[in-house]
Chains A and B, each alone.
Chain A
């Protein structure tokens, strides 16, 4: 099979699955997974084969079909297979396959149609995500970019009878529109300057970009990334997106879609390499988001929302990696994060499954004895995200912090390291409150039971992944980052400071251990007692607990004024008075005129005959005179 066919198959099989399950949902019903799982598992196998070929030096960039040809503007549907997209394709297909399998167990209580609809959307998401990462031009990337946004909206609002779920879907979609507006403008500017949106041409013609234009384009593209990847100021949709089914949170809002912004930024490395200011902005926004989101996760009591803030925070790390010029470190964190955060979400789904949808960790406790597999895999995931060696998160987070330090961004490094401690703290706070201690709601925990095998096997697989994938960093030939770097356009960075590396590693591990230790003493030994602490630091606690009132501020600043302007200026004035006025005015005018003129229609044929004569005489007369 040719490479082009293999790439096409990877992209199109999920679409076929989505089509069958979507169109024949009443027929397939509870058998939808028999179509949906192979539709993503086969691409996963093909992706591994492709990855093997790429490791052996294959590069592929070709057009399948000229999609839009207008004058000199040519936009193809084409695929680019290099080290960067291979990493993404393997991650997406692998994690998605296991999440599809997990969903069979998690969603089995849904109605027949709901079940088929769910798998149809999930497959459709995979199609768009694979289009996004395999595209060889920005327009096709944008198609995938919007497509995953659509599927995210559909799946957040999966339980659409619930108002909060429907609103959360809308919030996600509309927040993304704000970022995508900038993204599109960025693409237009890029097209204006380089005359093409195909990656290959952009890289060739990058010298046409002046530093100023590169900075503008870079910042505009990044504004799209802030929407999709939930960075300040557009992160607000991600915590609400937890209204969707938990496997969706794992797949879309942790492992794949939200990382699209990081991928896009790395893909645009040629532009960012000419725009150091844009890179600095990215790094600062990234580290600010990491810190900000982590601080909100410290006090939250909602199992999934803590993980959501954690995702926002980890995405911030990825942007720090990108922002300090170490794109491959950001991509590496994306890669490891997909495993351990996917795992953590699936574990939280398993807990919800056992507790009939309960999410308040203040009611849980002592679940370790009831569900050992879930608890143990969750701890593996938490250790990985906390950065304890030798688990996956340690390698990637440490690499980002290392690059931040050696590239001279000491402030960012410091904040990032502190955030790493916070990450360890809130993850282990979550574990201690959920799995250890005494059950605080006895009735709730009493009937808890371990999830079926179809759900625990994906947990075990992803846990093994979370332990092992980090070792990709020390593979020969520069490891993971050296591999990805081949696909990037890099600026020269200063030499490595190997003697400082070991110091940095020890420091970040110590910080993580301190975070775990504080969580242990607070939530197991109650010293200091978290309740009393929250009373002592009441204003700070309330500020964090209410998420810095960001939602309220956005409502006061943007949403309410928009609604009011729409209501009074656009609806009551422009729509009712001007547009309706014109339309109704035209109708009234003709009504009035014809109430007079229609009297000609008498219904007597001879009258019409006379009118014909008068007409003939008039025409002949005019003809004679002129």
Chain B
């Protein structure tokens, strides 16, 4: 049985990696991966705490998160694909038409 601190640490590290990925990377697909990483870090936390406390709610929510992440991945990838077809790249810095 792992200590809970280890799992908290793992989750935190994954979340921070994902977060900084979003902030510093310019490639849309990599940013997308970072988001998945953040979602999964939260999932780990949910499942671990659910297992430790004996309540099933956390695991149910983890399942929901996965389903939503799948849907989000489909839409996100579709957007990125059509963006690529139009512009020939997926560089976030150049995608800034929607602004003041």
Task: List A residues at the B interface (Cβ < 8 Å).
Answer: 598-606, 609-610, 613
A604 touches B96 (CB 8 A): yes
A604 touches B100 (CB 8 A): no
A606 touches B99 (CB 8 A): no
Cβ-closest chain A residue relative to B97: A603
B92: chain A residues at CB < 8 Å are 604-606
Q: Which of the residues B23, B97, B98, B100 comes within 8 Å of A606, measured between beta carbons?
A: B23
A603 touches B19 (CB 8 A): no
B95: chain A residues at CB < 8 Å are 603, 605
B24 touches A606 (CB 8 A): yes
A-B residue pairs, 4 tightest by C-beta: A603-B99, A603-B96, A598-B100, A601-B100
CB distance from A614 to the nearest CB of B (A): 12
A604: chain B residues at CB < 8 Å are 92-93, 96
Total count of chain B residues near the partner, CB < 8 A: 13
CB distance from A278 to the nearest CB of B (A): 72
User: Within the assembled complex, what's the spacing in Å between the Cα atoms of A602 and B93?
Assistant: 11
Q: Is B48 an interface residue (CB 8 A)?
A: no
Cβ-closest chain B residue relative to A610: B23
Q: Knowing that A603-B98, A603-B99, A610-B23 touch, tell me 10 more A-B residue pairs with CB under 8 angstroms.
A: A600-B100, A601-B98, A602-B96, A602-B99, A603-B97, A604-B96, A605-B92, A605-B95, A606-B23, A613-B23
Q: Is B22 an interface residue (CB 8 A)?
A: yes
User: Within the assembled complex, what's the spacing in Å between the Cα atoms of A603 and B98?
Assistant: 6
Chain A interface helix/strand/loop/mixed: helix
Q: Which of the residues B19, B97, B98 comes within 8 Å of A613, measured between beta carbons?
A: B19
A609: chain B residues at CB < 8 Å are 19, 22-23
Q: Is B31 an interface residue (CB 8 A)?
A: yes
CB distance from A391 to the nearest CB of B (A): 88
Most chain B CB neighbours (cut-off 10 Å) among A598, A600, A606: A606
- Complex A-B: 5 CB contacts under 8 Å: A600-B100, A601-B99, A603-B95, A603-B99, A610-B23
B22: chain A residues at CB < 8 Å are 605-606, 609
Q: Which of the residues B19, B31, B97, B100 comes within 8 Å of A605, measured between beta carbons?
A: B31
CB distance from A180 to the nearest CB of B (A): 56
User: Within the assembled complex, what's the spacing in Å between the Cα atoms of A602 and B31?
Assistant: 18
Interface residues of B in 8-47 (CB under 8 A from A): 19, 22-24, 31
B98: chain A residues at CB < 8 Å are 601, 603
User: Within the assembled complex, what's the spacing in Å between the Cα atoms of A606 and B95?
Assistant: 12
A599 touches B100 (CB 8 A): yes
User: Within the assembled complex, what's the spacing in Å between the Cα atoms of A602 and B95?
Assistant: 11
User: Within the assembled complex, what's the spacing in Å between the Cα atoms of A606 and B93?
Assistant: 9
User: Within the assembled complex, what's the spacing in Å between the Cα atoms of A29 and B31?
Assistant: 72
User: Within the assembled complex, what's the spacing in Å between the Cα atoms of A207 and B23?
Assistant: 86
A605: chain B residues at CB < 8 Å are 22, 31, 92, 95
User: Within the assembled complex, what's the spacing in Å between the Cα atoms of A604 and B97?
Assistant: 9
Cβ-closest chain B residue relative to A602: B99
B99: chain A residues at CB < 8 Å are 601-603
CB distance from A99 to the nearest CB of B (A): 70
CB distance from A613 to the nearest CB of B (A): 7
User: Within the assembled complex, what's the spacing in Å between the Cα atoms of A606 and B34?
Assistant: 13
